[in-house]
Amino acid sequence: MANTRRKFIRQTSATLAGASLLPLSSFAAPKRKIAASDKIRFGVIGCNGMGWSDMNAHLKLPEVECVALADVDQSVLDKRSADVLEKQGKAPAQFKDYRKMLEMKDLDAVIIATPDHWHCLAFCDALSAGKHVYEEKPIANSIEECNVMLKAAKRYGKMVQIGQWQRSGKHYEQALAYLHSGKIGNVRLVKVWAYQGWMEPVPVLPDSSVPAGVDYDMWLGPAPKRPFNKNRFHFNFRWFWDYAGGLMTDWGVHEIDIALYAMGVTAPKSVMASGGKFAYPDDASETPDTLQAIFEYDKFNMLWEHGTGIDLGNYELPEGIAFIGNNGTIVLNRQGWKVLPETDRNDEGIEVNKIEDLPDQVKPASVNYLEEHAKNFVEAMQKNDASILKCGIETGAIAAINAQMGNIAYKTGRKIYWDAAKGMFKNDDQANALIKSNYHNGWKLPQV
């Protein structure tokens, strides 16, 4: 029997390598006919929000077919099955328990977009079943889980792309190239921030019965047993410690990833944080709506800031990254980048810029970086080459671990010091306890 591309993708493996910023290869026009035997067959675990956005981006590629969906909510399964049917003319199989989906022998890859507390379990199960994985960010809900996932990726050798899609953004590459030219001089501070004006208070609601069609026990999984409350379900799970880490991990991994990659570092020497529920002190959420965290690295500090209910962050931008150098500052966000020159006075006493004043660099409106990220993942699977992945598992782990440190510093309320060689905090039992995962309801941390 001929060895088709799909069989090649399923049966071969590669040694994982670090993410790179190599140019994307060209892809065929979407109207190109692809033989059924050459299709890459995808499933989705967690189909409501980003799971569907990710699958939809992959379905723009003619090589991709969605064959299965897994979700604990039947209404979501039905809605997304109809969406897939409309997109590709063929409905996917449905599963309430993703482990049954992973038994499909002709399933090549899965997109995992569950709440964060499920990421590690689903990720390890998918890899052990021989599937390639597109994993939503943040990769995990604890530092311990990040380390387990790194081990699993190394053991099983499949392609792993993390959904920090800014890594596939061309204008991010261009801004970092300008940074590395040295023109702005020594960088002593990097600011990263997310101000989310659209976020309103989460109203306090009473516990209620589980909605029809929802497997709530499966939704809870390893999280503590609690009565059903609408506030904790679907999108708003992000604001409760049982399931996620608030804006520090939800948005933080995107911006921190670019900042640390640009500066060539992976772990801080120390972290301290301060914040709280200052905007909406009486709403139902648990994670801070206002937070500042200072990360100390060799030769520079990084300052994370987030705030809900307001949009005017640093440089009047709702999100972004600023590299502050002696000669100028690069301000970078999803819309583009610009250079703000520092000034000095010449011999005549006239104020002059220390560096050239570039025109603002604007991202082309026609380019969708999430779709570029999907193309990159498919190309890596086709070539069986992890070295071309824009955001591999190591990259995702670095961003997630640093973001988790910000939350740990906030929870302890003091400056914490990291021992990179030992992978733990120095002389701090409370902070080290927060590295761990606490699984409940009979679920166990995967053993790799």
**Average pLDDT, integer, range 403-410:** 98
Query: Under DSSP, is residue 424 helix (H, G, I), strand (E, B) or coil?
Result: strand
Please provide the average confidence, as pLDDT, over all residues in the chain: 93
pLDDT digit string, tens, across residues 202-217: 999 999 999 999 999 9
Q: What is the model's pLDDT at position 33?
A: 74
**Pick from 30-39, 82-91, 98-107, 110-119: least confident:** 30-39
How far is residue 373's CA from residue 54's CA, in Å, rounded to a whole number? 9
pLDDT band at 286 (very low <50, low <70, confident <90, very high): very high
Nearest to 21 by CA among 167, 213, 149, 218: 167
End-to-end Cα distance, the chain: 34
pLDDT band at 32 (very low <50, low <70, confident <90, very high): low
State the fold for domain 5-167+369-397.
Rossmann fold (3.40.50)
Q: Could you tell me if 147 and 444 are in contact, meaning their C-beta atoms sit under 8 angstroms apart?
A: no
Q: What is the model's pLDDT at position 27?
A: 37
Nearest to 283 by CA among 225, 224, 236: 236
pLDDT digit string, tens, across residues 123-159: 999 999 999 999 999 999 999 999 999 999 999 999 9
Query: What percent of the chain is modeled with pLDDT above 90?
Result: 90
How far is residue 409's CA from residue 3's CA, in Å, rounded to a whole number? 52
Q: pTM score, two decimals?
A: 0.91
**Average pLDDT, integer, range 280-288:** 97
Beta bridge partners of 187: 325
Q: Could you tell me if 121 and 222 are in contact, meaning their C-beta atoms sit under 8 angstroms apart?
A: yes
Q: What is the model's pLDDT at position 350?
A: 87
The domain ranges of the chain are 5-167+369-397
Residue 34 has pLDDT above 50, yes or no: yes
pLDDT band at 348 (very low <50, low <70, confident <90, very high): confident
Residue 416 has pLDDT above 60, yes or no: yes
Q: What is the model's pLDDT at position 21?
A: 32
Q: CA–CA distance from 143 to each of 20, 28, 245, 356 (Å)?
A: 24, 40, 12, 42
Q: What is the model's pLDDT at position 36?
A: 73
Residue 287 has pLDDT above 60, yes or no: yes
pLDDT band at 431 (very low <50, low <70, confident <90, very high): very high
How far is residue 162's CA from residue 374's CA, in Å, rounded to a whole number? 10
Nearest to 370 by CA among 95, 136, 63: 136
**Average pLDDT, integer, range 252-267:** 98
Question: Residue 357: which residues within 8 A CB-CB, separation 6 or more?
Answer: 339, 341
Question: Residue 125: which residues within 8 A CB-CB, separation 6 or more?
Answer: 98, 99, 102, 446
Highest mean pLDDT among 2-11, 125-134, 337-346: 125-134
Q: What is the model's pLDDT at position 438?
A: 96
- Residue 204, Cβ neighbours under 10 Å: how many? 11
Write the DSSP symbol of residue 318: S
pLDDT digit string, tens, across residues 324-335: 999 999 999 999
